[in-house]
Structure 1
Amino acid sequence: MKKVLLLLSAFGLASLTTAQAQVPTPTRIMPVKELRTGMHGTTYTVLQGSEIVPLDTEILGVAENGLGPGYDLIIGKLVDPKSAVVEAVHGMSGSPLYVDGRLVGALSRRLTQFEKDGHCGFTPIEDMLRIEGPDRKGTFASRPAKPAPASGEPPFAVAGLIRGTMGAASGGSNGSSGFATLGVPLSITGLSAELTGKLLRTFGLEASGWVPVSGGSRSEAGLAKAELKPGSPVAAVLMTGDVGMAGTGTLTWREGNRIVAFGHPMMGVGRSAWGMAPAEIITTIPSYLYPHKLSNTGPIVGTIAQDRLSAVGGVIGQMPPTAPYRIARTEEGKALSPLQGTFIADPDYAPLLLTSAIAAAVASGNEEGRAIYLRARGQVTFRNLPPLDLGGVYSGENGDLMAALSSFVSPLQALYRQNWLKPEVAALDLAVEMEQAPRVWTIRDARLETPEVSLGTGDRRVFVEVVLREVNKGIEERRRIEVPLPAALKGGEIRVRVSGADPIDDAAFSRNVASLNDAAGLVALLNRRNLEHRNDRVYVRLETDAPGRTVSGTEMPSLPPSVLAVMGGTDGGPSTSTAALSQAVWAEGSADLPGVVAGTKVLRLTITP
């Protein structure tokens, strides 16, 4: 109770102070070698609102090479009453430390996960200023910086590894007592933090140091015109609009329109192109597990152009490439307001951001645990590829939204997993229809009206009667599906496969994807998969075993042995890719159902001359 009162009184004193703490200007730098144990300095940060407050800080020493060869870590202790409860919190990353009026470094680490006595780590400003500028070689700052090791900045793989292994304080579970990088509170709007956490795990970003927290976004003139200066909150923006996503830290150094911040990586990707925005701290939440700043994010005013081991750096006034998203929504036949905004057109993060926008549309307006029926149809356009069609039908429990998202965005994920070309996304335009009642139809039974067909009769048709049962209500419907017999079929035993779209498309995609040799071919294959079959139809297909080849995504069944031998030799060629094909699909028929069709039945048909 005493600590809580101390925290409240500290915030009260800060709010009564009419003038903000003045960060020393012009910026002069103190090298690490001049630091001595027992020195006292001031760390500048914002605990609430936009007011920069000073925090008394004691220098305890320097861990030489503490972050890697040539990268020291300054060890200090926050000894100010204003930080007695919160200590070093996630979101303080980048808070500048001054000693004797000179800039020493930036708050960047807690020394252990459940640190409770103010011990913390500071990245030396000399290392932060070593990151390269986006438009010139050399150091980011205009002044001489500490000489870099012979190997220069660690490469992306190393930086990412270091970022991930220092995530104990960011929600990691390794329990180690190493230098734990302060996490980046990922301020989320329009989407629950819980669902965002699931998305991060799906995309392998659970150890990124991003911790989703509910936040807000503001475009008022006051926040839009907020001055970005040392000690003020700054956000790395990934999405804006009805769905927002931004990582919040603190600005360390500014010279003209160039800034450095955080004192550690956001993701460690090297060169980046994320939005830069001012932020407003709603409050600082004390917690032994995850103390963090809760923030509102302002409009984008520049670009975070570098994401390195020692800092992120950017340029104010230089806007990043973005792409618009628009998702029309209908629930129970009633039109809802569309979700609109922009996202950073970064190929490495576009799949996550696109999926997040779709997740917000699917999740909005539905109560947790309610059964739902979803239909989506739309398109993702690219600057360097043909458009990709997205869509499908899903029915299930609202609590299992990840399954619905997977069914809608799997083509997008497949496209971004290929290595031929990095897609440059231009826009997302989607329409989502939602209903409360589930609609799943299972194939209960299927039979051939005539299991043996004689071609001598002249009737080259096959009729299949399919019985489907709706899972929720137990009602049944029947469909009589006609499939023509092609002239090329002369006789023998034929497989008759009755199923929904997914088994057909999954098998075809697996067969054909190995034959592709460029990203455009993959887009064409994915679009065929999306357009040829819908999962609210039941399909009947005639199949036989027939050796052939798939050439650039096009199936060529029943090839003569001589042709197969020649085509088999083209595998791995520079311009033509082929893959083995073991079956032929001769004909297909289908029928509509008011919902998703699940299940498969295989029948046998005998054809006689």
Structure 2
Amino acid sequence: TQGGIAAPQSDDAQVKQGDMVSMVLTQGDLSIQASCTVSAVVGDRVFACGHPLFSFGSVELPMARGRVLTTLSSALASTKIVNAGGTIGTITQDRLTAVMGRLGPAPRMVPMELTIATPAQQKQFRFELIENPKLTPLLVAIAAFNGLVANTAYGEGTTLRLTGGIEIAGHSRVNLENMFAPTDLFIPDGSFVAGTVQNVFTRIFSNPYEAAKIERITLRVESIPERRWASIENAWCEKSEVQPGETVSVKVLLRPYRGAPLIQEVPITIPPQAARGTILRILVSDSEQLNRMTRLFSSAPQGRLAGLEQLITLLNRERRNNRLYVTLLQPTPTLLVEDKELPNAPLSQINVLDQRRNPVGSILLRESTAGEWSVPLNQVISGLASVNIAVK
């Protein structure tokens, strides 16, 4: 069954055998629901379908009155066109033999707002999504994708800037910020935005620490009518030997998409405590290169962190792909423990937190970060380059 929504009526809750009820997945500017015929009504319990919807067992889905518009007959599979009317209760069971709901109040849903901004116009959409660990992350992606692509403000071939956040009861806000340059692949450019939102939401909603109560999802997608993308082709330093505490300039050769190469200068400062005779490595990179180690913790299903708040902290620390990053690395070990980075780790710490004894609690890296600098460039940056300098 499929259809849209209908205005609530005074007799919506007066369902009887043979009527239709709808199981609402999303409502608002995007409507997704499945409808079934009522098999029986016993007190405040409504039995419908005679088959499972998802076979999820105990569930909490809004139950709405279904209004049949027409039936498309087919020897293969007939289809009813059904509008979902007013909400009349909650679907509580999704079992092999039937779907059962109770008349009364509806369950809580997750509010989501999406704003699409282009040079010509701005549109805003509001959705409400069910709370279910298997379905909600997918519905977030569907709502984001359809809200972005299926409207007149959207056009292919533009760079998309995503900002927004996920608000969680009792925890810090998860901030979203990234840019997405169009590609020549035969898939909508908006799918990259939807995939990113789904990935972050899944890591929060399906975390192994506690049930996250999502209060609101707010997204803003700005369309920029250019392909703003640049690759890192080369990098070099004005000096091959430096003094502790000295400031030097790192020059990066960037090649924009179908544009002339340009040189971006990034001043960096050598730490005053840098040991003489040490070879330091300057890593010029995009955000993805620096985010890989963090994701070993935040994406681990067994839970390397102490709780949800530490996961949120790591997600908010992730670098953004519209910035050029310059990282100064020194040849001393670093310990990553939960959401903390311990550079220049002494042997005593390494022995206590050795990853071989506690494989899910820490990660040992062979280099330590002596400094990190970034430059916002308002375009998607990709690639990496490395330069060695000596401290004399």
Structure 2 letter corresponding to 1:318 = P
Q: Secondary structure at the match of 2:316?
A: helix
2:287 paired with 1:498: no
Partner Cα distance (2:177, 2:202) in 1: 13
Partner Cα distance (2:259, 2:230) in 1: 9
2:251 paired with 1:465: yes
Q: Secondary structure at the match of 1:413?
A: helix
Q: Which residue of 1 aligns with 2:103?
A: 316
Deviations 1:297-335 (A, max 9, x none): 223221001111111101112311212212222112632
1:195-214 alignment, distance < 5 Å: none
2:264 paired with 1:479: yes
Q: Which residue of 2 aligns with 1:488?
A: 273
Partner Cα distance (1:512, 1:484) in 2: 31
Greater Cα shift, 461-470 or 393-402: 393-402
- Pick the aligned partner of 1:277 from 41, 64, 69: 64
Q: Which residue of 2 aligns with 1:588?
A: 372
Partner Cα distance (2:190, 2:109) in 1: 27
**Normalized against structure 2, the TM-score is what?**
0.89
Closer/same/farther in 2, CA of residues 277 and 585 from structure 1, 3 Å limit: same
Partner Cα distance (1:290, 1:598) in 2: 49
Q: Which residue of 1 aligns with 2:226?
A: 437
Larger Rg: 1
Q: Which residue of 2 aligns with 1:388?
A: 174
Measured after TM superposition, the shift of residue 403 of structure 1 is: 2.5
Measured after TM superposition, the shift of residue 231 of structure 1 is: 1.4
Closer/same/farther in 2, CA of residues 512 and 225 from structure 1, 3 Å limit: closer
1:159-558 alignment, distance < 5 Å: 187=2, 215-219=3-7, 221=9, 225=12, 227-287=14-74, 291-332=78-119, 334-336=121-123, 338-365=124-151, 370-383=156-169, 385-397=171-183, 399-455=188-244, 460-471=246-257, 473-491=258-276, 492-510=278-296, 515-529=304-318, 533-558=319-344
Aligned 8 A contact 1:516 1:578 in 2: no
Partner Cα distance (2:243, 2:295) in 1: 34
Closer/same/farther in 2, CA of residues 586 and 362 from structure 1, 3 Å limit: farther
Measured after TM superposition, the shift of residue 507 of structure 1 is: 3.1
Closer/same/farther in 2, CA of residues 452 and 361 from structure 1, 3 Å limit: farther
Aligned 8 A contact 1:442 1:469 in 2: yes
Deviations 1:111-157 (A, max 9, x none): xxxxxxxxxxxxxxxxxxxxxxxxxxxxxxxxxxxxxxxxxxxxxxx
Measured after TM superposition, the shift of residue 270 of structure 1 is: 1.1
Aligned 8 A contact 1:392 1:408 in 2: no
When the two structures are aligned, how many residues end up with a matched partner?
385
Structure 2 letter corresponding to 1:478 = I
Q: Secondary structure at the match of 1:348?
A: coil
Closer/same/farther in 2, CA of residues 593 and 463 from structure 1, 3 Å limit: same
Q: Secondary structure at the match of 1:347?
A: coil
Structure 1 unpaired stretches of 5+:
1-90, 92-186, 188-214
Partner Cα distance (1:440, 1:483) in 2: 24
Measured after TM superposition, the shift of residue 452 of structure 1 is: 2.5
Measured after TM superposition, the shift of residue 594 of structure 1 is: 2.6
Closer/same/farther in 2, CA of residues 432 and 299 from structure 1, 3 Å limit: farther
Aligned 8 A contact 2:177 2:320 in 1: no
- Pick the aligned partner of 1:605 from 372, 389, 392: 389
Q: Secondary structure at the match of 1:535?
A: coil
Aligned 8 A contact 1:236 1:274 in 2: yes
Partner Cα distance (1:582, 1:477) in 2: 33
Q: Secondary structure at the match of 1:379?
A: strand
Measured after TM superposition, the shift of residue 273 of structure 1 is: 0.3
Partner Cα distance (2:274, 2:24) in 1: 59
Measured after TM superposition, the shift of residue 404 of structure 1 is: 2.7
Aligned 8 A contact 1:495 1:542 in 2: yes
Greater Cα shift, 477-486 or 342-351: 342-351
Structure 2 letter corresponding to 1:439 = R
Partner Cα distance (2:273, 2:74) in 1: 73
Structure 2 unpaired stretches of 5+:
none
Partner Cα distance (1:555, 1:409) in 2: 27
Partner Cα distance (2:70, 2:255) in 1: 54
Partner Cα distance (2:213, 2:76) in 1: 39
Partner Cα distance (1:562, 1:225) in 2: 70
Partner Cα distance (1:600, 1:503) in 2: 8
Closer/same/farther in 2, CA of residues 431 and 566 from structure 1, 3 Å limit: same
Q: Secondary structure at the match of 1:216?
A: coil
Measured after TM superposition, the shift of residue 511 of structure 1 is: 5.8
State percent identity of aligned pairs.
25
Closer/same/farther in 2, CA of residues 229 and 594 from structure 1, 3 Å limit: same
Deviations 1:518-564 (A, max 9, x none): 222111111222xxx32111111112343232222101022111221
Structure 1 vs Structure 2 CA RMSD: 2.7
Aligned 8 A contact 1:461 1:482 in 2: yes
Measured after TM superposition, the shift of residue 386 of structure 1 is: 3.3
Q: Which residue of 2 aligns with 1:171?
A: none
Partner Cα distance (1:419, 1:512) in 2: 10
